Structure 1
Amino acid sequence: MLSLRLARGSRPAVLLRRALVVLAAAGTGFLLLSALGFAAGHPTDPRGGVARLLWCLVPLAATVHLTVAVARADPISRPPSGLSAAGLGPARSALLAATGATLSCAAGSGLALLAFLHLRGGLGGSWLEWAGSGAADRALGAGRPLPLAGAIILVALVPVVAGAVCAAVLWPRQPGDRRTAAEARRSTVPPVATGTVGPLPDRSTSGLPWGIALTAAGLALEAYAGSGAAPRHDALFHLPGRLGDTPPGVVGGWALTMAGLVLAGPGLTHLCGWLLAVGRPGALRLLAGRVLQQEAGLLGRPVGVLCAIAASGYAVARLDGTGSGRSGDQLLGPLTVLGAALVVVCALATTVTAALEARAARRRTTDALLRLGAPSRLLRGAAAVRAAALVALLSPLTWAVAHLTTMPMSH
């Protein structure tokens, strides 16, 4: 009840972020139910149902990532200190934020179930006649009974996973600590406020060697297992690199490569900030570099996810052209497009949410600089320099990884 009352009194930006979580959960739930419908309509093709269910893990991970970012930036996760005397301490604040995230995802899963049942004709008619050949009916298993236990599990999967991950991320790390991890990050003052220009703690770079190792291992696995076989095409749900057509080693190598980019994101962001501040920088470069280094732990992971998505999009675009040239059919289908759009929207929303959280974390530093006489255009210029530096460093790296990823599958 308290979570609902706080949601009613939230600002429009907070409500918009929660609405995005509801829509993301609805899209992921629909894809999961579609995989179940395909399995129910094709009992003799278990590998196809398993492949579709495995590909749903990508939008599920993107939805959970967005839900965690929204819950961490939610005012519920950082209530006023006076509420601690009323029993709303860090642990209960984390549980309250996780409960709100669970309710938002549950609403999205409910919408997904209604849409899925309507498309299958279970709610008095369907508008799937656009498919003409009945491919959509076969993909969703229209006319076939759904296993009740499987439907309940898939509908509850997104809320349960998202709520559990939110509670784990927001839970206080030490019993005596009166602040959550997110609050500790927000209260950290960047070094530009104290006037220090020495080396910064590089905790965010700890994942860079592991990210590089994972990326290299994924590329090597793809090169070893790649056979150059073109994937077969399906009537409605075309899957790039289906497990039944592409060697599992290639799919596993692709996953390792993308995971390496995500893991290396904070380190690459920190490196970009270090390059900006190296040498004898002026005020603009020093401010941009130091702030980017300080915020690498918060912005790096969403930036790494964006790089992985960009590399995957480039790879799918190349494979789509290869598939079209061989068989005259396109590699992508409507449900694949839905999943890709869902992943992209979740990644962009997560990055924007992290950027807003970082701006709120350095608000005191910004106010101090303005009181000292720093012009507003200096702060705007530093933000533009940070964005330009990230694009300049990560764009060629992402393109190189994407090009190497598609080589074993484009022969």
Structure 2
Amino acid sequence: MLALRLARGAHPLVQTRRLLVAVAAAGVGFLLLCTLGYAVGHPERSSASVLRLLWCVLPLAATVQFAVAVARTDPSTRPRPGLSAIGLGPARLTAIAAASTAVACSLGSMVALLFYLHLRGDITGLPFDGAAADLLAADQPIPLAAALTLLAVLPVVAATAAGLALRPRTAPAAPEGAEKPVPSGLPWGIALVAVGLAVETYAGRRGAADGLPLPGRFDGNPAGVLAGWVIVAVGLAMAGPGLVHGCGRLLQSVRPGATRLLAGRVLMDESRRIGRPLGVVTAVFSGTLAAAALHDTGTGPGAFGPLTGLGAALVLACTTATLLTAALESKQCRAHTTEALLRIGAPPTVLRSAALMRAGVLLAVFLPLTWAVAELAALPLTG
């Protein structure tokens, strides 16, 4: 009840972010229910149903990542002076954040169930009732226990991930004036990217014999290609913090002025917070560019089905929203530093110039990286 009261009295922007989480959860729930409908309507194709269910893991993971990012920026779960005296310590606030995440995802799952039943024709009296009866196997009864189990997966996973991400930690005190440690995932990330591209190359040469039937009409893509892309995405997520930290060092090289020094220090401090979402977005956009290149050359699928398009749109939207939310969290964390700089007379133009400089150097590094990964991923399939 406390989580519901805090959610009701939150700022409209916070409510909007929670609503977006619920919308994403509704999309994932609808995909899971459509996969269940396919399994019910085609009992002889059990392996294809399992592969379709596994494919839904990608939008589910993207939605969980977005839900955790929204929970991290929720001001109602941020520790403040005096809250511990009324029983709202860090552990209790973490539990409230997990409960709020579960409520938002459960709301989306319920909307997905109602929409699914409406399109099947089980709920009548509204426009478009039964519009997708053939696609959703309306002639077969829905196993209620299986449907509720699938819909409960996202709220449970998202709430658990939010609780683990926001759990109280005791950070060791660093000596005054010591340099912040460099993120250590860059070499491992590069190695995983190379392994993922090698897997895609091997799978592309084998052809489409081991096709992965995706929801919709995208049935010709080898399963190894998708597995290789997932490995590439994990590698870019691991390498992202190191690349952002390197961008910060690059800005501070060769006699930096106040603006370059400020921009570089912020990138180094926030490398872990924004590096991983930025790496994931790089992987998603590179995969989108590779798919577009395959479609243009005629070697890819002729048409994307509606469910495949919905899953791809969810992954793209959730990863982009996660990056924007991480940038907002970074801004909130350095609000006291910004206020201190303004109090000592720093011009606001310096802060704006530093922000533009950070955005510029990140685009200069990650845009070519996105293009290069997309070209390398599409090369074995187009050749």
Bin the TM-score by the shorter chain.
over 0.9
Structure 1 residue 246: deviation in Å? 4.2
**Which of 171, 181, 184 pairs up with 1:201?**
181
Query: Partners of 1:63 and 1:326 in 2: how far apart?
Result: 30
Gaps in structure 2 of 5+ consecutive residues:
none
- Identity, in percent, stands at 52
1:306 is matched with 281
Match of 2:140 in 1: 144
1-structure distance, mates of 2:87, 2:346: 42
Mapping of 1:52-201 within 5 angstroms? 52-124=52-124, 127=128, 136-174=132-170, 199-201=179-181
The one-character-per-residue Cα deviations of 1:295-314 (angstroms, maximum 9, x if unpaired) are: 11111111111101111111
User: Structure 1: which amino acid aligns with 2:95?
Assistant: L
Shift of 1:146: 1.9
1-side partners of 2:255 and 2:299: how far apart? 55
1:99 and 1:163 in contact (8 A); partners too? yes
C-alpha spacing 1:264/1:236, structure 2 compared with 1 (3 Å): closer
Q: 1:361 to 1:288 in 2, by over 3 A?
A: same
Superposition RMSD in Å: 2.6
> Is 1:252 the equivalent of 2:231?
no
CA 1:209–1:128 in structure 2 vs 1: closer, same or farther (change >3 Å)? farther
1:336 and 2:314 correspond: no
Please state how far the C-alpha of 1:319 moved relative to its aligned partner. 2.3
> Post-superposition shift, 1:330?
2.8
Against the structure 1 CA distance between its residues 370 and 318, is the aligned structure 2 distance closer, same or farther, given a 3 Å change threshold? same
Match of 1:285 in 2: 260
Match of 1:178 in 2: none
Q: How has the CA–CA distance of structure 1 residues 332 and 117 changed in structure 2, closer, same or farther, with 3 Å as cutoff? A: same
Q: For residues 90 and 304 of structure 1, do their structure 2 counterparts lie closer, same or farther at Cα, with a shift above 3 Å needed?
A: same
The separation in 2 between residues aligned to 1:331 and 1:234, in whole angstroms, is 14
Residue 224 in structure 1 maps to residue 199 in structure 2: no
Deviation, 1:224, is 2.4
1:270 aligned to 2:250? Answer: no
Corresponding residue of 1:177: none
Residue 359 of structure 2 aligns to which amino acid in structure 1?
A
Mapped to 1, the partners of 2:129 and 2:363 lie a distance apart of 42
1:360: Cα distance to partner?
Answer: 1.2
Q: Is the 8 A contact 2:285 2:370 kept in 1?
A: yes
Q: Distance in 2 between matches of 1:51 and 1:399?
A: 29
Residue 210 of structure 1 pairs with residue 211 of structure 2: no
Please state how far the C-alpha of 1:51 moved relative to its aligned partner: 2.2
1:22-69 CA distance string (max 9 Å, x none): 101111111111111111111122232222211111110111001101
Distance in 2 (CA, whole Å) between partners of 1:321 and 1:233 is 21
Letter in 1 for 2:153: L
Change (3 A) 1:168 1:129: closer
The question of whether the paired residues in 1 share the 8 Å contact of 2:215 and 2:305 is answered with yes
Count, aligned residues: 381
Structure 1 residue matching 2:217: 3-state secondary structure: coil
Q: Is the 8 A contact 1:319 1:331 kept in 2?
A: no
For normalisation by structure 1, the TM-score amounts to 0.86
Q: Which runs of 5+ in 1 are unaligned?
A: 131-135, 175-180
